Structures are given as structure tokens and as C-alpha cells.
Amino acid sequence: MIQGSNFHLRHMRRDEVALYTELINAPESKGDFLSLELNLPGVIEKKYETEAYSKEVRETFLIVDGHDSHQGKILGQIFHFKTVPYFNSREIGYALFSSDTRGKGLMTEAVTLLTDYLFRTMLINRLEIHMNTLNLASEKVAVRCGYRKEGIARGAVFSRGKHIDIAMYALLREEWEQLR
């Protein structure tokens, strides 16, 4: 468990897989920018099983309200995964499931916590965050956490019926060390 100011990050429990599937498939959880694609329950169960034994490919944390690891409302998710096989890096992704929790600094703190955790526990030199170029809130999270814009990947992702541009941000280990 990784403790935040009024929430914590923790791995999903087996008994939460069905609820998690409902949360990530709910239209409100998609906001204005995430793909509207629905996740199949079997696919989510398989991802859970895979992540339960290795974080080499992907590791997901739930963002849970409060300080008790066994109670609290699931507010969102934050995860990291291996991007390009020959890069010494990970990419971070995140989502808050309710619009009521957005715009309050929660994700900035969660990204900071995960960034610190990854640089302290993994032999990586680079973390990346990618977002729709129109997603200004996500861009603010990256900037507030010290990530630097590296460019735009034009037409890189198909979402909501069209190809969209993706802003690419990154933070190197030496930049992170200077921030701490």
C-alpha cells in the first residue's frame, strides 16, 4: 500500500474484480477523453490473474479513499506498463471514476506517489505520460509532477470514432532526483 494524504494506492483484491469491471465500463468513468470501448469481464479477470503474479508487463493500483486498506471507496486507478521493449522506461496511465473527484489535486498526488515508488523500486531511467492533446487537465497533472513535454504523436490513437493526437511527456531519473 502507498499512502497519500487522504487516500491510498493498493492492488486490487480478487473480490473486487467485478466491481472494478463495472467502474471502468461506466460512461462517467470515461470522462471526455478516454476510449468508450467496453472491457469484457473475462479480459479483466485475466489481466488481474496476470498482474497477481508479475508486474513486468503491467501493474495496476486502485486509488482508494481513506487510510484503511480494507475499506474505502474506489475513486480511480493508476497503472504503469512497459512501452517500447528496448526503452528503459515505463508509461503511467490513470483515471478517476467520478467527475466529483476530478480537479481537486488527487491525481497529481497519485502520480507523484507512483513516480516516487517506481524510481525508488525499479532500475528505470524514464517515465512517460501520454494524453489526448485536448485533455488539459491531464496535461496539468504531468506538468505539476515535473514531466516535460517531448512532442506530439500525430494521429496515434483511435478513440471515439477518429484518430487523435497524443501529447507525450517524460521525466528522467536525474530530473526526478533534482525535484526531490
Contact at 8 Å (CB) between 152 and 165?
Answer: yes
Contact at 8 Å (CB) between 133 and 117?
Answer: no
What's the pLDDT tens digit per position in 65-78? 987 767 799 999 99
In the chain, % helix, strand, coil (3-state, to 5) comes to 35, 35, 30
The pLDDT score that the predictor gives to residue 69 is 65
Cell of 25: 465500463
* Pair type for strands 89-96 and 126-132: parallel
Choosing among 3.30.365.10, 3.40.630.30, 1.20.1070.10, 3.30.310.50, the CATH entry for 2-179 is 3.40.630.30
What's the pLDDT tens digit per position in 168-179? 999 999 999 999
Which amino acid type is present at position 49?
A: E
What's the pLDDT tens digit per position in 89-115? 999 999 999 989 999 999 999 999 999
20-50 burial, b at 16+ Cβ within 10 Å, e below that, comes to bbebbbeeebbbebbeeeeeeeeebeebbee
pLDDT, tens digit only, all 180 positions of the chain: 999 999 999 999 999 999 999 999 999 899 899 999 999 999 999 999 988 888 888 999 999 998 776 779 999 999 999 988 899 999 999 999 998 999 999 999 999 999 999 999 999 999 999 999 999 999 999 999 999 999 999 999 999 999 999 999 999 999 999 998
Neighbours of 151 (CB within 10 A): 10
Contact at 8 Å (CB) between 168 and 153?
Answer: yes
Q: Where along the chain do its domains lie?
A: 2-179
98-134 burial, b at 16+ Cβ within 10 Å, e below that, comes to eeebeeeebbbbbbbbbbeebbeeeebebbbbbbbbe
